[in-house]
Structure 1
Amino acid sequence: MKGNIDQTFVISMQMKATGKWVVLGLKQNRIDAEQEGQRMLSKMPIFRSYKVEQAEYSSQNSHVITSEAIGITPKEVRNKLKLQTNIQFIDVREANEIKKDQIPGSLLIEVKDIPHKLDELERDKEYIVYCTAGYRSPYVCKFLMEKGYKAFDLKGGLLAWKGAGFVTPVIEGALHVWNKLKK
């Protein structure tokens, strides 16, 4: 059953080197989105420009739970996986970024698609959200929390996960990674 139609604003940044657009994050209103785009443009010389686009999505629960994303380290995730079975990873990188390294079993949902996929997420699960280096995932994590989901941001993203020795190439399969995590 679909809920009310809500809106959010998607912030995209254009890379100087390649000219490609990368989705940075989500905000609840245009002013905040514009300010965040301007802030990132001024602080990160790798970006050429930014754009803000409005997206509408269906939501059953739009109350705000918290205002900050909760970060979790790879080691804390490992410990959590030993105790819980209701954890789901969400990889918010863009399709062209996903090469051979990923956390097996992750849902692959690009940042820009998150508002449209809320109805597909289960409310009784805990979500560990990650991107490459942890710049985009806090926005998605915060957004999910505001929509009533229990979400944690993987601090440092996939780079931190790999640095902790937890990621193997996808071709090696999920069994190797999960066995390593359970130790």
Structure 2
Amino acid sequence: MKQLTAKEVENLLCQGTQLNIIDVREVDEVKEGKINAAMNIPLGLIEARMSELDKSKEYIIVCRSGGRSGRACQFLKSRGFNVINMVGGMLDWEGEME
């Protein structure tokens, strides 16, 4: 599974790189803050909402610590999506949040 650290993702955003970020935390967790560019799709809804995703794009998957995002990556990868797990999750995130 491809992986990036929170710092690597932050650096890419600071460089102006257009990233497709999916935050798989629950809605109440996201209310505490999320990466500005991230779309929230809770892990339990990934299968139901994967039709919203484009298989030609690369997605960085984020959660609190990297566990749920890892499971989401495995699931999406098995369905033909190009995904990267942000290891360390939001616990390691030091960048801007909304």
Deviations 1:72-93 (A, max 9, x none): 11232245443743x2110101
Paired AA for residue 26 in structure 2? E
* Alignment partner, residue 150 of structure 1: 82
Structure 2 residue ranges without an equivalent (≥5): none
1:167 aligns with 2:96: yes
CA–CA separation in structure 1 for the residues paired with 2:90 and 2:80: 25
Q: CA RMSD in A?
A: 1.8
* Alignment partner, residue 49 of structure 2: 117
Does structure 1 conserve the Cα–Cα contact (< 8 Å) formed by 2:10 and 2:95?
A: no
CA–CA separation in structure 1 for the residues paired with 2:77 and 2:16: 22
Does structure 1 conserve the Cα–Cα contact (< 8 Å) formed by 2:3 and 2:86?
A: yes
Does structure 2 conserve the Cα–Cα contact (< 8 Å) formed by 1:141 and 1:151?
A: yes
TM-score, length of structure 1 as denominator length: 0.48
Task: Give the total of aligned pairs.
Answer: 97
* Alignment partner, residue 135 of structure 1: 67
Alignment of structure 1 residues 17-96 onto 2, 5 Å: 69-81=1-13, 82=15, 84-85=17-18, 87-96=19-28
* Alignment partner, residue 33 of structure 2: 101
How many angstroms does 1:142 deviate by? 1.2
Report % sequence identity.
35
- Tell me, what secondary structure is at the counterpart of 1:102? coil
Deviations 1:98-129 (A, max 9, x none): 22310012111011100011111012221110
Does structure 2 conserve the Cα–Cα contact (< 8 Å) formed by 1:70 and 1:151?
A: yes
Is the strand fraction higher in 1 or 2? 1
Does structure 2 conserve the Cα–Cα contact (< 8 Å) formed by 1:134 and 1:155?
A: yes
Runs of 4+ in 1 over 6 A off after TM superposition: none
Paired AA for residue 8 in structure 2? E
Report which structure shows greater RCO (CA 8 Å, sep ≥6): 2
CA–CA separation in structure 2 for the residues paired with 1:76 and 1:103: 13
